[in-house]
């Protein structure tokens, strides 16, 4: 029968492991490995709080003991256990080890068997091989693997204290090792800016004391100059203006008057003058005070 275990609930009742121990999770995993090896097909899934990041741990898991972590500040072991139960195809074959009443009620509703952490700790104590196979110390390789899983920066002074009496210092700080800070996710503002970043910024954007210039709207485009149109106002008493007369003379030059001594125009010239008079009457409605004569060529 597989077991679904709240790791920190079980550590709290075990005399050989302390919650203040920075390696308490690793010690419990080693203890469960020895316990699972006593019987064939014995399996356990242990869930811990405060993982960075949360989820399945490839470093600590084995075929017999699967280790999972609840994401810090987003979930906890109780939620992970309830969600794990809902996705099981055969929850009636599982045993849940938890001290939380809501988890116990959810397990019974799914048909799983419920065991308190104290009862399960007694089962571990009755197995002598578990105590005998527990290692007395953790190798440096296991410590390094643990630090890769739980690499975290120092807790801020105003951060809430962790649950179950655990120390607020990181595992690397407790072991006296420098652990690189976790990278800032894209889109989030960093907590502080280093002096090198400030110098790089000033190199691209130097400071200046110039005051910003007031906004000036762009100049409006000059409209194109329109050529004056030749218009005639028949109702005006003074007739055409000087500009209109000048424009008219550019189109129709003045006709030279025939001197009195010259002979009378021929028939062709009379026809041309008559056409001009007819055009003049259509435009102005009256006969001009000009004598008939030849047009200047």
Residue 53: left if φ>0, alpha if ψ -120 to 50, beta else—which one?
Answer: beta
The predicted pLDDT at position 108 comes to 94
Nearest-5° Cα angle at 46, 115 to 17? 85
pTM of the entire structure? 0.45
> Could you read off the pLDDT of 221-252 as tens digits, one per residue?
888 877 666 555 555 555 667 787 788 788 77
CA distance 8 to 24: 9
Q: What is the mean pLDDT of the chain?
A: 76
In 3D space, the residue among 52, 34, 53, 54 whose CA is nearest the CA of residue 44 turns out to be: 34
Q: Which of 133-142, 157-166, 227-236, 275-284 is most confident?
A: 275-284
Burial (0-12, 13-18, 19+ Cβ within 10 Å), 180: exposed
Query: Which of the residue ranges 14-18, 41-45, 124-128, 141-145 would you say has the lowest mean pLDDT?
Result: 141-145
Percentage of residues in the chain with pLDDT exceeding 70?
61
The predicted pLDDT at position 198 comes to 80
Domain ranges, ordered by start, for the chain: 3-175, 228-297
> Could you read off the pLDDT of 153-173 as tens digits, one per residue?
555 555 555 555 555 566 666
Helices and strands (DSSP H and E) totals, the chain: 11, 6
CA distances 269 to 223, 258, 259, Å, are 47, 12, 15
Query: Which of the residue ranges 106-115, 194-203, 258-267 would you say has the lowest mean pLDDT?
Result: 258-267
């Amino acid at each position: 029968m597989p077991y679904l275990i709240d790791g920190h609930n079980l550590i709290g009742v075990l005399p050989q492991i302390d919650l203040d121990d920075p390696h308490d999770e690793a010690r419990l995993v080693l203890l469960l490995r020895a316990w699972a090896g006593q019987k064939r097909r014995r399996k356990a899934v242990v869930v811990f709080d405060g993982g960075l990041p949360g989820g399945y741990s490839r470093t600590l898991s084995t075929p017999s003991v699967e280790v999972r972590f609840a994401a810090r500040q987003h979930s906890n072991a109780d939620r992970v256990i309830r969600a794990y139960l809902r996705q099981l195809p055969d929850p009636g074959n599982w045993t849940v080890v938890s001290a939380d009443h809501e988890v116990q009620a959810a397990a019974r509703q799914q048909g799983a068997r419920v065991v308190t952490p104290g009862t399960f700790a007694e089962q571990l104590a009755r197995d002598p091989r578990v105590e005998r196979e527990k290692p007395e110390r953790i190798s440096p390789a296991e410590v390094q693997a643990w630090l890769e899983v739980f690499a975290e920066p120092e807790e801020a002074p105003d951060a809430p204290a962790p649950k179950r009496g655990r120390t607020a210092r990181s595992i690397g700080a407790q072991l006296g090792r420098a652990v690189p800070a976790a990278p800032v996710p894209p889109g989030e503002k960093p907590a502080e800016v280093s002096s090198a970043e400030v110098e790089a910024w000033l190199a691209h954007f130097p400071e200046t004391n110039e005051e910003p210039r007031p906004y000036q709207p762009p100049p409006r485009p000059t409209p194109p100059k329109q050529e004056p149109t030749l218009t005639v106002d028949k109702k005006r008493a003074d007739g055409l203006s000087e500009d209109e007369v000048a424009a008219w003379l550019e189109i129709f030059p003045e006709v030279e008057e025939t001197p009195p001594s010259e002979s009378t125009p021929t028939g062709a010239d009379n026809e041309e003058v008559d056409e001009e008079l007819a055009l003049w009457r259509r435009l102005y409605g009256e006969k001009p005070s000009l004598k008939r004569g030849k047009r200047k060529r």
